[in-house]
Amino acid sequence: MLWTALCILLITGTGADEQLKGLYINPQGTEIVYQILETPHISQLLLGEAGLIQLNVTYSKLEHEVEGSILGHHFRSQGDQLEIDTEVVLALMGSPVGRSLPEIGFKLHSDHGVFGHESHAAMALYKLGMVSHSHHDSMDRDKRSIFTSKIADDKKSEAVKDFPEDVQEACMGINKGCSSDLEYKNEPGFTTPACPDGAWKFGVNDIEKECWGLCGPQCICWKHVCGDCCAHNGCLRHDGYCEKSGSSKDCITLRGVLWDKGPSAC
C-alpha cells in the first residue's frame, strides 16, 4: 500500500525522530489513520483512509515553509504566497477525513497529550479541525458533543455563571456562547490566571467581537491548540484573514498560524 511504503520511508532517520500515530473510526465506520512525525528538520502530518494518504502537511523547521498535498494536489508556501486551489481544500472538508478532523485532533491530544504550540503538525491538524467545524457548522450541521460539552445553547447560563455580570451578558449575545475556561480581564473581586508572555485576556468588547485571537471557534476555547484560553497573535492574524470570507484561501489554508507566520507558535 502507498501509505505503508511512505511510512517506512519516513520513520527511517535518527534517534531524535519522534512518531505518533493512531486510528480514528467515524460514526459511519470509516477507518482513518493519522500520523505525526517530528525530526530535527521537519514536522509532518499524514491523514488517510483505505491505504491512501489524503492529507500531507510538512513544515520545514529550517526554511519555515510548509508543503504537502491535499487529495493528490501538491502545495507549497513561499513567504506570503501559497499556491493551491481553494476548491481542493473544500473538497477535503466534504470527505470523511475532512469531516472528522475535529475529532481526530481531540483524539490525538487525548491519547498523546500534544499541544499545538509544541508541534507544527499538530497545529495543522487542530487548526484544520476548526476550519472543518466552521465549514460544516455554517451549513446548519448538528453540533457534536465535543463542541457542546462545555457550553450549549440551552446551558449558557450554567457555563458562564461564575463570570462577572458584564462578561456573562457579552457571552449570552454570541451564537455559541463562551466556554467556561475563557480568560477574561480581571475586574474587582474576580481573578483569573495570568496569560503567558505575548498573550492577553479578553475584555467585554473582545467577547462581543467573538473573541478574535482565541484558539477555538468564536469564544469556545480549544485548549489543546495553544495550551490556554488567552488571545494569541498568530490566531489574531488568522482571524483577520477570515473576516471578509471564511472560505477565502488565506482563511481555509491557515495563513498566520501554519504559513506566513510570525515568531509565535500560536
CA atoms within 13 A on the CB side of 138: 12
Tell me, yes or no, whether 163 lies in a domain: yes
Looking at residue 125, its pLDDT comes to 95
Same domain, residue pair 185 and 203: yes
**Are 36 and 122 in a shared domain?**
yes
114 shares its domain with 182:
no
Last residue of a domain, one of 108, 143, 178: 143
Please determine, for residue 103, whether its predicted confidence score (pLDDT) is greater than 90: yes
Q: Counting Cβ atoms within 10 Å, is residue 140 exposed (0-12), middle (13-18) or buried (19+)?
A: exposed
Q: Which domain, by its residues, includes 92?
A: 18-143
What cell was used for 101? Answer: 478532523
111 within some domain: yes
Over residues 120-136, the pLDDT tens digits come to 999 999 999 988 988 77
**Is there a domain that residue 162 lies in?**
yes
Residue 23, pLDDT > 90, answer yes
Same domain, 158 and 183: yes
Query: Residue 142: is its pLDDT beyond 80?
Result: no
149-161 pLDDT per residue, tens: 333 344 444 445 5
Tell whether 136 and 180 lie within a shared domain: no
pLDDT at site 153: 42
For residue 203, tell me if it sits in a domain: yes
Number of domains in the chain: 2
End-to-end CA distance of the chain: 36
Q: Report whether pLDDT(112) > 70.
A: yes
How sure is the predictor about 138, in pLDDT bands with cuts at 50, 70 and 90? low
Domain match, 138 and 213 both: no
Share of the chain above pLDDT 90, in %: 45
